[in-house]
Chain A
Amino acid sequence: MTQRIHKKLSLAPIPYFWDQTTVEDFYRRTADSPIDIVYLGETVCSKRRALGLSDWISIGQDLTAAGKEVVLSTLSLVEAASELSVMTKICKQNDFGVEANDMSALQLRTSYTKPEFIAGGSLNIYNQRSLDKLKSLGLQRWVVPHEHNQQALHDFDLSGIEVELPVWGRLSLAYSARCFTARTHNRSKDQCGFVCDQYPDGLAMKTQEAKDFLVINGIQTQSGTIQNHLEAINDNAVDILRITPQQNNCFEVIDIFDRVRKQQMGVDEGQQKLAECTIHPISNGYWHRQAGKNWVA
């Protein structure tokens, strides 16, 4: 296997509905952070229009000027013609990379002359033959889907592509036509009133015993746990460590991963510091071939 020593740090798209000022402040801080690659765009709900494509492009230009690699991410669940038209614009441009988060984006991107793309973690790539097929179509980088354990990843021949592993943040577990945040407020999706802006870190869905279980984020269901894969920081199969934005302590988390990758901090110390960055339980079960919710110390 190729040795992949110099790990990069990436920042996933913001999964929640933050207002424009919060988003712009967040990326101003990102510009000064040790993040190497920034994924931009609305990937959960096309009704959230605090920022349009031109706003994202403008943020992307600022981040590029700050030395970051910028990638535009596409919507994860595509249903309406209007959504396809925004996606077409993203897939046609070549100023930034494109992260394809469903098969529609793959079709649109591979229809154009320069079809390089990044396969988002919600594309179902479970085996070598699927990966090779996408490589033949222009796959350059692969965000590893959550269900892969460490051995399953090592079973792949990963030559010729970059491998990006989600290492911190809530897991994206499911998408639906229905908006569960609106449902909680007895509203339909068409009359949602953008109520998800009240939940900048998602809305906890606990069991009747009041235990953390899942988190509602519009049409997306996330894990109640925060996935923590700091242990994979020295894994030879991985090139890029992906951090999912959250409202609190995001830049502290980035700093910890940065210091551990530069060996300015040990993994054990990093784990202790990360534990201070969240009040929620952490998980790494999938990586160890267990239930995703589990934590294997």
Chain B
Amino acid sequence: MELVCPAGNLPSLKAAVKAGADAVYMGLQNATNARHFAGLNFTEKQMTQGIEFAQSRGCKVFLAVNTYPYCHDLDIWQQAVDTAAELKVDALILADMGVMDYACEKHPDLNIHLSVQGSATSAAAVNFFAEQFNIKRAVIPRVLSIKQVAHLVNQSKVPIEVFGFGSLCVMVEGRCLLSSYATGLGPNNHGACSPAEFVEWKNTDDHLETRLNGILIDRVDKDDSVGYPVICKGRYKVNDHIGYAIEEPTSLNTLSILAELKTIGVVAVKVEGRQRSPAYVRQVTEVMRAAIDDCLEKPDAYELKDQWNKTLGDLSEGQQTTLGAYYRNWQ
């Protein structure tokens, strides 16, 4: 079972490689990937350096080109595919059928992984991409219970990668329009959820408020803390009750089910967080590395260590973690 870690820039990539990632994933500095944030991602020159650094140390490199180009933008996404082929990345992480079709035709030897943004939640969906685009792996959305993941792995024609730690998308990835409904820009069409230019933090006399394009996402007492205003983690009024109607600020943490993920045949565990600091990437990678090593060495006697959970808990949104949809009652 591989550990796949986020590389938002060169220092994060190096931190992940040194801390024991089996693979790192990165994006270019444009809307072709799902973490299109200012100051993040790689120029071609940085990519070359990063690939050299990682591959010479036995770590694979994946390039995420996992957003959806409109007709007039398709060239830019196709160029990103050409760049990946030229720089010899180990795999391309793609979501769009048009981009996949191009990659298959132009670079038949290039490994394609289906991005989580491709929204394949069943074996039939994964097998569609396997048959049509010869994908070599699929990353599945964070919507299935552990039993459903096991069933999918069993019926899938290609190996399956799942999310193991990081910010939790509550909605099926690739099919969430909440951000674009509020701002015009979202993960699919812009590579970012709740883009920073629409975010407002405001102190009133008694409150701290966050707004997204003018919409009140959360309001807390002056001395409390409030998270970044992603719509699904806000507090709203439903039936006259104010609360986290969709989900609280929390991170996904699968440490307690890693051995099970290994047993059911998951081939890779992914850490979310290309927007995070190199220090974050290093700490998470170290913990996940140690846990996966324990799993691989003694799958029947895997024991969760309190220190791992504490480290990951401290790095989590709202200092809380959850098993998310893997745990049926969360649903």
Find residues 92-141 in chain A having any chain B CB closer than 8 Å to their own CB: 102-104, 106-108, 110, 122, 124-134, 137
A29 at interface by CB-CB < 8 Å: no
**Chain B residue nearest in CB terms to A209:** B216
Which B residues lie within 8 Å of A132 (CB)?
Answer: 98
B144 CB to nearest A CB, Å: 6
B87 at interface by CB-CB < 8 Å: no
A86 at interface by CB-CB < 8 Å: no
Within 8 Å by CB of A79, from B97, B144, B177, B231, lies B144
A173 at interface by CB-CB < 8 Å: yes
A210 at interface by CB-CB < 8 Å: yes
In the complex, what distance in Å separates the CA atom of A122 from the CA atom of B171? 13
Please determine whether A206 and B331 come into contact, CB atoms closer than 8 angstroms. Answer: no
Which A residues lie within 8 Å of B99 (CB)?
Answer: 129
A189 at interface by CB-CB < 8 Å: yes
Contact with A along B286-311 (1 / 0, CB 8 A): 00000000000000000000000000
Find residues 237-276 in chain B having any chain A CB closer than 8 Å to their own CB: 237-239, 241-242, 245-247
Between A77, A125, A171, A188, the greatest number of chain B beta carbons within 10 A of the residue's beta carbon is seen for A77
Please determine whether A107 and B98 come into contact, CB atoms closer than 8 angstroms. Answer: no
Q: Which of A258-266, A272-280, A284-292 contacts B (4 or more CB under 8 A)?
A: A284-292
Contact with B along A147-158 (1 / 0, CB 8 A): 110001001100
Within 8 Å by CB of A133, from B97, B124, B127, lies B97
Within 8 Å by CB of A102, from B71, B125, B177, B235, lies B125
Please determine whether A292 and B331 come into contact, CB atoms closer than 8 angstroms. Answer: no
Within 8 Å by CB of B124, from A108, A122, A179, A180, lies A108
Please determine whether A208 and B235 come into contact, CB atoms closer than 8 angstroms. Answer: yes
Within 8 Å by CB of A174, from B171, B184, B331, lies B171
A223 at interface by CB-CB < 8 Å: yes
**Chain A residue nearest in CB terms to B98:** A129
How many residues on the A side are at the interface (Cβ–Cβ under 8 A)? 69
Chain A: interface secondary structure?
mixed
**Chain B residue nearest in CB terms to A103:** B125
B259 CB to nearest A CB, Å: 22
Q: Assuming the A-B contacts A77-B143, A130-B98, are A124 and B174 also in contact, with contact meaning beta carbons closer than 8 angstroms in the complex?
A: yes
Q: Assuming the A-B contacts A124-B96, A128-B98, A183-B245, are A208 and B177 also in contact, with contact meaning beta carbons closer than 8 angstroms in the complex?
A: no
Which A residues lie within 8 Å of B171 (CB)?
Answer: 174-176, 221
Please determine whether A128 and B74 come into contact, CB atoms closer than 8 angstroms. Answer: yes
A293 at interface by CB-CB < 8 Å: yes
Which B residues lie within 8 Å of A196 (CB)?
Answer: none
A232 at interface by CB-CB < 8 Å: no
Please determine whether A208 and B246 come into contact, CB atoms closer than 8 angstroms. Answer: no
A89 CB to nearest B CB, Å: 14
Find residues 54-97 in chain A having any chain B CB closer than 8 Å to their own CB: 77-81, 83-84, 87
Which B residues lie within 8 Å of A179 (CB)?
Answer: 331
Q: Assuming the A-B contacts A177-B331, A207-B236, are A129 and B101 also in contact, with contact meaning beta carbons closer than 8 angstroms in the complex?
A: yes
In the complex, what distance in Å separates the CA atom of A78 from the CA atom of B118? 14
Please determine whether B237 and A206 come into contact, CB atoms closer than 8 angstroms. Answer: yes
Please determine whether B178 and A173 come into contact, CB atoms closer than 8 angstroms. Answer: yes
**Chain A residue nearest in CB terms to B190:** A147
Contact with A along B110-128 (1 / 0, CB 8 A): 0000000011111011011
Please determine whether B237 and A291 come into contact, CB atoms closer than 8 angstroms. Answer: no
A211 CB to nearest B CB, Å: 7
B188 at interface by CB-CB < 8 Å: yes
In the complex, what distance in Å separates the CA atom of A124 from the CA atom of B66? 12
A48 at interface by CB-CB < 8 Å: no
Please determine whether B239 and A189 come into contact, CB atoms closer than 8 angstroms. Answer: no
Given contacts A126-B96, A207-B237, 7 further A-B contacts (CB under 8 A): A177-B142, A180-B245, A190-B331, A211-B216, A214-B231, A285-B184, A291-B184
Q: 30 A-B Cβ contacts within 8 A?
A: A77-B121, A77-B143, A78-B121, A78-B125, A79-B143, A106-B128, A107-B131, A124-B97, A126-B68, A127-B70, A127-B98, A133-B97, A146-B177, A147-B186, A152-B70, A171-B177, A173-B178, A174-B176, A176-B143, A176-B246, A178-B246, A184-B245, A188-B329, A206-B236, A208-B236, A213-B236, A221-B171, A292-B177, A292-B181, A293-B181
Interface, chain A (partner B; CB < 8 A): 77-81, 83-84, 87, 102-104, 106-108, 110, 122, 124-134, 137, 146-148, 152, 155-156, 171, 173-180, 183-184, 188-190, 203-211, 213-214, 216, 221, 223, 285-286, 289-293
